[in-house]
A and B are shown apart, each in its own frame.
Chain A
Amino acid sequence: MSGPGMVPLGRQVNFWIEDGLGAIVRSPVGSRLRRWGVTGKTLVASVPFFWLLLFFLIPFAIVLKISFSDAQIAMPPYQPLFHWVSEKVLQVKLNFGNFAFLVEDNLYWKAYLNSIFVAGVSTLLCLLIGYPMAYAIARSRPAVRNILLLLVILPFWTSFLLRVYAWIGILKNNGLINNALMALGVIDQPIQMLQTDFAVYVGIVYSYLPFMILPLYANLEKMDLTLLEAAADLGCKPWEAFLKVTLPLSVPGIIAGCLLVFIPAVGEFVIPALLGDPGMLMIGKVLWTEFFNNRDWPVASAVAIALLLFLVIPIMFFQRAQDRESGGGLHR
């Protein structure tokens, strides 16, 4: 019954993969490649490596390049940086004007500082709301815990744009909150909530809350509870044990959660565009306007580079934390 024709398809495919890869590995080309340190594994890993190199890292170099060029009315709307004057002379024209423009014009400074302020306050609010929730989830019974965790993740699966849109209906002048307050007789004039900074804070906290809860939960759930028993045995009150044991141990989770909220929130565009005052200055909105409305690609690039410089340190912190958390197996 087990002739060669009876081998299941899945196993056949496996044979092909094995034979194919084996042939490459055993061939002279394979041994030469191995001498250069190229193995099957590095070959496989090089696929995503070059993908990310081409589509993630190199684009930043291009943004940098274009941030130094002049705008012109053409497609693409910028002048080339390098220009062959004669056969042997390559003229490089660096235009620092775009950056000088950013420094001189108050609008950009205000937008950067305001974005950082708004993102900072939102991160703090996320922490204040998210920490008790993550704590409560981590300390609940396992069966309940999974359901609660699913409830935290579920909004994250539904459209971000539509969830922000939902707040328009809630916050606007004839929206849910104002209607409810007027029906109860608390107010007789609607409170202006939509198109204010308040609405932007609500939007950011609401959208990014799961990003705060999940790393905090992962951290708190791992905690050794016998430490708290030890603290209690040594005469610590519960709140003292929390401040002296739980809180310090959860610092890595706090840092991860705060960075996950803060960094994207600084460059946020959709929330201020839909919920905020049209005049509200957020750097993501400024970049968007420069690009789409003013069609000034060089200035938009300069704004992006400056934003990246602001964020490079928090991003590196985040990567360090991320690598320690998940790639830890390597160093153990």
Chain B
Amino acid sequence: MIAGRPWFRVLSLVLGFAFLYVPIVSLVVFSFNESRLVTVWGGFSTKWYGALLDNQQIIGAALLSLKIAAITATVAVVLGTITGMALARFGPFRGRTMLSGMATAPLVMPEVITGLSLLLLFVTLEQLIGWPKGRGMTTIIIAHVTFAMAFVTVIVQSRLAQFDESLEEAAQDLGARPAKVFFLVTLPIIFPALLSGWLLAFTLSLDDLVIASFVAGPGSSTLPMVVFSKVRLGVSPDINALATILITIVAIGVAIAGVVMSRQQKIRDRDAQMALAANQQMIESLKKG
């Protein structure tokens, strides 16, 4: 009786996933199209990939974006992990409500507001203290870290809420200082969450158009900025080729992350079982003795 109407559930899934995936599939398919008209099939060709690789502007922007994304993700994971730990484990402290508010608001804040406000901050700071000198990679990274760390915080916080605090308490009872507990107990357990937080921050940064447009300076056009100015003029098949490359990278990345995580989960499960078995044995021997 809980099943309800199976055909309705299957139908909603099929239609929903078709809606989500048809555009992505169409991007990939038409990247191999001979014709310049993106949606009219003119035969198989990989020439748009060649055109893409010859486009120095796109390659340069892609390299800049990758660099920004890697630095952003790393800083965002550090700051987001601290925030998540503080919110989930530090108990009540002065400023907790404010920290929690500032850490979740960027999740929903419209990008145009974040972008504009950060640009005005950078301009004001430059007038007051002479830093940051002009705008470019540094300002983009700061802006990206600020909104990406909110996502890392949520991931870390929910992971910490899931796992049993008694493990950390046990380490503390055995005399480990809080920093040691964190590095030897908490960190290994939440590592998969940090990995997915890093990947998410990386993609968010790689993907952002609006905020980067506000805080970028001349000569620091990121990949989405270049793509946007190209796409505004209409469809062009080399952008499809770019999309296909990005989708492939993401798919591979997600697959690797999935394998790593499930393997870690298996190791942890086995360790937990062994610990339980050892415990059981000890109790048995104590009973006998």
Task: Say whether A and B bind each other.
Answer: yes
- With the chains together, A176 CA to B30 CA distance in Å? 11
* Chain A residue with Cβ nearest B142: A55
* Chain A residue with Cβ nearest B113: A304
Q: Is A47 an interface residue (CB 8 A)?
A: yes
Which of B13, B87, B105, B258 is within 8 Å of A148, CB to CB? B13
* Chain B residue with Cβ nearest A178: B39
Instruction: Known A162-B239, A288-B112; judge A56-B13 contact (CB<8 A).
Output: no
- With the chains together, A49 CA to B86 CA distance in Å? 10
Which stretch from B1-9, B46-54, B272-280 is at the chain A interface?
B1-9
- With the chains together, A260 CA to B104 CA distance in Å? 11
Across the interface, do B109 and A329 meet the contact criterion of CB distance under 8 Å?
no
Q: Is B137 an interface residue (CB 8 A)?
A: no
Across the interface, do A318 and B120 meet the contact criterion of CB distance under 8 Å?
no
Q: Is A118 an interface residue (CB 8 A)?
A: no
Mark A123-167 against chain B: 1 for CB-CB distance below 8 A, else 0.
000000110110111011000000010111011011111110111
Which of B5, B178, B242 is within 8 Å of A162, CB to CB? B242
Contacts of B17 in A (CB 8 A): 151
Chain A: interface size category = 35 or more
Across the interface, do B27 and A304 meet the contact criterion of CB distance under 8 Å?
no
Across the interface, do B146 and A169 meet the contact criterion of CB distance under 8 Å?
no
Q: Is A63 an interface residue (CB 8 A)?
A: yes
B8 CB to nearest chain A CB (Å): 7
Q: Is A268 an interface residue (CB 8 A)?
A: yes
Q: Is B71 an interface residue (CB 8 A)?
A: no
Contacts of A150 in B (CB 8 A): 254, 258
Across the interface, do B108 and A318 meet the contact criterion of CB distance under 8 Å?
yes
Across the interface, do B183 and A238 meet the contact criterion of CB distance under 8 Å?
no
Contacts of A60 in B (CB 8 A): 117
Instruction: Known A21-B179, A148-B13, A266-B110; judge A318-B104 contact (CB<8 A).
Output: yes
- With the chains together, A26 CA to B16 CA distance in Å? 59
Q: Is B66 an interface residue (CB 8 A)?
A: no
Which of A42, A132, A307, A318 is within 8 Å of B110, CB to CB? A307
Contacts of A252 in B (CB 8 A): none
Which stretch from A1-9, A97-105, A319-327 is at the chain B interface?
A319-327
- With the chains together, A170 CA to B90 CA distance in Å? 50
**Interface positions of A (Cβ within 8 A of B):** 14, 17-18, 21-22, 37, 40-42, 44-45, 47-49, 51-60, 62-63, 66, 76, 129-130, 132-133, 135-137, 139-140, 148, 150-152, 154-155, 157-163, 165-170, 172, 174-176, 179, 206, 209-210, 225, 228-229, 232, 238, 242, 259-260, 263-264, 266-270, 273-274, 284, 287-288, 291-292, 297, 300-301, 304, 307-308, 311, 314-315, 318-319, 322-323, 325-330
**Interface positions of B (Cβ within 8 A of A):** 1-5, 8-10, 12-13, 16-17, 19-24, 26-27, 30, 37-40, 79-80, 82-83, 85-88, 90-95, 98-113, 116-118, 120-121, 123-124, 127, 142-143, 145-146, 149, 154, 157-158, 160-161, 165, 177-180, 183-184, 199-200, 203, 206-207, 209-210, 213-214, 224, 227-228, 231-232, 234-235, 239-240, 242-243, 246-247, 250-251, 254, 258
